[in-house]
Amino acid sequence: MSEPAGIHLDSGLWIDRPDAAERIAARRRAGELTADDAERLTFFAEQGYLVLDLEVPETTLDGLVAGVDRLWRERPHDLAYAYDGPARRFSRADEARERRRRYRIHDPHSHLEEALALYLDSQLSAWVARILGEEPVAIQSLFFEFGSEQTMHRDPMVVPTGAPGHMVAAWIALEEITPDCGALVYVPGSHRLPYYEFAPGEWMFDGSRMGEAEIGAGREWYDRRQRERGLAPRLFTARKGEALIWHASLFHGGAPVTDPESTRRSFVVHYSTRRTYPERSLTLAEPDEDGGERPVVWATRELVERGGRRGFENPLRGAPRA
């Protein structure tokens, strides 16, 4: 039996059209882009990522890291974290057991000024706007203290958006990132691959209906596609303050942590197009009456704004105690 060809995810965004390179050249001729910006955009269109030196003060990066120590002391009930499972309120976190590799904090921009500054950073936002070709909106932030060891994936497989493929993400190094700390791993050029069909017509992974069998079959299918095209993974070993911006469809994940003493402090922002993304939601595992847990969806339409740049508020911000 021949293999399924996969699904083409039609974002409708200019960067995904076959004439993207010509459009960049035309905008360069019209003086709308500098030579450097045109070169970087062309690289992004071809490779699916670009690396930037952020012009943020070091105190912002260090302040965010110090702020996370404070969050661990205060454990706010209206902030979420996840450790090897669903997101839960920080007030339920157990530092001794859970402050370790693979944990993350969701939307710390609601509690830390430095995280908000990066969430709405002007340089990142300008690049994301250039890539999307329209007004972006930051939709979520994540803080990682250690390597995530996250499975290789493409964001549209797991993160819903209003329009297919309307997403860009930025990964910011809050300290020097070495190869042994479980650095971000990505596959240049993989954004142009078709999508595996987990079920007929479905490119998203749905954990309520799918499991290890679908994950394994998808991994094999994608591995073969990458090998056929000679695509190979690369580690983002970064300097403090460097950021990698990736295309929605770029394969990425967390490399294995080989130095158990290492940290990998990093901050991630996901963006979509403001026009197509009206509401942000977050599902938490909340305690139920029987001593178990039930999923509760928190949603918000509230935006935070700085200098005309917008992002969604943490949906849990200001929530009453559970």
Quick check: 268 binds ligand AKG (CB under 6 A)? yes
Q: At what angle do helices 122-132 and 35-47 cross, to 10 degrees?
A: 60
What letter does residue 200 receive in the DSSP assignment?
T
For ligand AKG, what does the binding mask look like between residues 162 and 181, x meaning CB under 6 A?
A: -------x-x----------
Establish if 108 lies at the interface with ligand AKG (CB under 6 A): no
| Candidate ranges 11-19, 144-152, 190-198, 228-236; the one touching ligand AKG (CB under 6 A) | 144-152
**Nearer to ligand AKG (CB atom), residue 90 or residue 236:** 236
Q: What are the backbone angles phi and psi of residue 36, rounded to the nearest 5°?
A: -65, -45
Among 125, 148, 190, 272, indicate the residue that binds ligand AKG (CB under 6 A). Answer: 148
Q: Which of residues 182-221 bind ligand AKG (CB under 6 A)?
A: 184
By beta-carbon proximity to ligand AKG, the closer residue of 162 and 287 is: 162
Beta bridge partners of residue 7, listed in sequence order: 195
311 belongs to the binding site for ligand AKG (CB under 6 A): no
Asked if 155 touches ligand AKG (CB under 6 A), the answer is: yes
Q: Which long-range contacts (CB under 8 A, 24 or more apart) does 36-45 make?
A: 37/130, 41/15, 41/130, 41/131, 44/15, 44/131, 44/245, 44/247, 45/15, 45/20, 45/21
Residues forming beta bridges with residue 197, ordered by sequence position:
none
Residue 152 touches ligand AKG, criterion: CB under 6 A: no
| Contact status, residue 145 vs residue 99, Cβ threshold 8 Å | yes
Kindly state whether residue 254 participates in binding ligand AKG, applying the rule CB under 6 A: yes
Give the contact letters, 233-252, x = binds to ligand AKG (CB under 6 A), - = no: -------------------x
Contact predicate 55/117, CB 8 Å: no
In the complex, the residues that contact ligand AKG under the rule CB under 6 A are 142, 144, 148, 150, 155, 169, 171, 184, 252-254, 266, 268
